[in-house]
Amino acid sequence: MTEPTRESTVTLREVTQDNLRDVLRLQVSEAQNKFVAPNSISIAQAYFQREQAWFRAIYADETAVGFLMLHDDPHEAAYFLWRLMVDTRYQGLGFARQAMALLVAHVKTRPSATELKVSYVPGEGSPGPFYTRLGFVETGEVDDGENVMSLKLAYGPEEAPTPARGRPLTHIVMIKLKDPTPENVDAAVEKIRSMAGQIKVLKSLEVGKDVVRSERSYDLALIARFDDRAGLELYNTHPVHLPILHYLRERISAAVAVDFEH
């Protein structure tokens, strides 16, 4: 079986008799053990709270790479990320970030969901900074020694998103396709354009295809603008962006990117 890479497609799958052993074999590093329970304990806890535990294996293509579990109470507006782990062999490849985007998309379909919460053990190597990059903010609450963070899924009439804290950022990508027929180039351009107006942090989007067709030309390019780097992070894991990213990765032969602040 091919080893997962950054280009692998990430999915959330049920834990079944067929893949249970694969999920139980997944482990974080020794230094991370204090931040997350073993998957065996998580699954045991889930079966004792069947009505409120929703758990899935994280897959990269056809390889189990991680596990997550949600405290799912449809009578509460705030849902809670109970567990999240990626095996130490597969960390640093963006799988946790993509899994979180899929989880957020799932929670948004749940009854009354307006907020997703998570807690973490503070200390060096904690996942707090990871959640911050995804848009979670500290609530000031402490639950059994763990700091609680929150991601707003919907805003009330008196609420507003946190204002940008960084410098404006421009994200430029140039793409070469494996099969750059006019039809394929046009299809890719339209796929990218379809994101316009659907991702709140994406402030503007320009997409165009090359008309010079020189030896050094790429087939198409996009220019996306964000309020800050945090906006780019949220865009990278947004459920509208991810399927388009997977579509392109299957068709790209080469791509280069530049991100600059101004």
Instruction: Look up residue 246 and give its amino acid.
Output: H
Burial class from Cβ neighbours inside 10 Å (0-12, 13-18, 19+) for residue 51 reads exposed
Q: What is the pLDDT of residues 131-167, one digit of tens each?
A: 988 889 999 999 888 899 999 886 544 444 444 457 8
CA distances (Å), origin 168, targets 18, 84, 123, 186, 240:
47, 31, 31, 29, 22
Which residues have C-beta within 8 Å of that of residue 7, sequence separation ≥ 6? 249
Match domain 169-261 to its CATH number in 1.10.3720.10, 2.30.40.10, 3.30.70.100, 3.40.50.720: 3.30.70.100
Q: Assign domain 10-152 one CATH number from 3.30.70.1140, 3.40.630.30, 3.40.50.170, 3.20.20.70.
A: 3.40.630.30
Distance of CA 254 to the CA centre of its chain: 23
Amino acid found at 57:
A
For 226, the token pair is: 């964000």
pTM of structure:
0.63
Helix, coil or strand: residue 101: helix
In contact, 100 and 238? CB cutoff 8 Å = no
CA distances from 84 to 12, 27, 190 (A): 12, 11, 35
List the pLDDT tens digit at each of the 262 positions of the chain: 688 998 888 999 999 999 999 999 999 988 888 888 899 999 999 888 766 889 999 999 999 999 999 998 877 878 999 999 999 999 999 999 999 989 988 888 888 888 999 999 888 888 889 998 888 999 999 988 889 999 988 654 444 444 445 789 999 999 999 999 999 999 999 999 999 988 888 999 999 999 999 999 999 999 999 998 888 888 887 888 888 988 998 999 999 999 999 8
203-212 long-range Cβ contacts below 8 angstroms, 24+ apart: 203/227, 203/231, 209/185
Q: Tokens at residue 154, please?
A: 């919907």
Q: Are strands 78-86 and 115-120 parallel, antiparallel or unpaired?
A: parallel
Distance CA 104, CA 143 (A): 22
Domain boundary assignment for the chain: 10-152, 169-261
